[in-house]
Amino acid sequence: MSPTYEYRCDKCNISEDYVFPINRGGDVVCQKCGATMWRAYAVPSVVFRGGGWAKNDRVKEDKSDNAKD
């Protein structure tokens, strides 16, 4: 499955989504006005659920066990 990329046109002020392979090169041309569109970057929608993702959720090592070695 290929990722979806959002491209925007400054002339028309529109955005369109395109599905391309990661290694695809070349420019995307606006279908409405023919101008070159630029790729818009957005924050990925990733949700981490459950424990263990934050530093506070990690199990703390018992320092006394390490001192015996």
pLDDT, tens digit, 9 for 90 and up, residues 4-63? 889 999 999 999 988 888 787 778 999 999 999 998 887 777 877 776 666 665 566 555
pLDDT at residue 18 in the model: 87
Please tell me whether the overall predicted TM-score, pTM, comes out greater than 0.85 for this model: no
Cβ–Cβ contacts within 10 Å for residue 7, how many? 19
Tell me the two tokens of residue 38: 């630029």
The pLDDT, as a whole number, for residue 49 is: 77
* Cβ–Cβ under 8 Å, residues 37 and 8: yes
